[in-house]
Homo-oligomer: A and B are copies of this chain.
Amino acid sequence: MTSTTQTDPWGSIRDLLHDRGMRWTPQRRTLIEVLSKADGHVGGADLVERCRAVDPTTTPSTVYRTLDVLEDLGFIRHGHGADGREEFHVLPTRDHGHLHCGTCGQTWELGEGEAKGMVDGLRGARGFLVDLSHVTIVGRCADCAALAEASEVD
């Protein structure tokens, strides 16, 4: 259904694996199928569940190990959400972090531009190279901050 094979970035995985002496297995096919349909961010347990929907015999260890491999190949990146759970970014075209509101639970993307000040500052002052994609900044969003202020008259 609407196969966009022409620019399908996942099409090259099989060859990439072979080039590295790695194998193309049904289990990996399943996970890649799931990932190709999941844009944006997905939790680890979430992926396991979706793989099970495709192939009920899927086991967590295989999924997490395959995710490691795919991260090595650059197809995904992992970070940790506000609660510390793993979160995977599929096809990270640009470097971005995350902003999470601890009150309402919503999450937004944090662009390179917004974090530039800190990233550049840390590189300059300490030579530290920030890996933005791994970062989730926690705090309180504008809406929740406004609500909190309004109810602070109790």
Chain A residues proximal to chain B, CB less than 8 Å: 80, 82-86, 99, 101-102, 108, 114-115, 117-118, 121-122, 125-131, 134-142, 145-146
Establish whether residues A140 and B145, one from each chain, have CB atoms under 8 Å apart when the complex forms. Answer: no
Establish whether residues B139 and A128, one from each chain, have CB atoms under 8 Å apart when the complex forms. Answer: yes
User: Could you tell me the distance in whole angstroms from the C-beta of A12 to the nearest C-beta in chain B?
Assistant: 23
Provide the residues of chain B in CB contact with A130, threshold 8 Å: 137-139
User: Could you tell me the distance in whole angstroms from the C-beta of A67 to the nearest C-beta in chain B?
Assistant: 14
Provide the residues of chain B in CB contact with A141, threshold 8 Å: 126-128
Provide the residues of chain B in CB contact with A139, threshold 8 Å: 122, 128-131, 134
Q: How far is the CA of A17 from the CA of B102 in the complex (A)?
A: 25
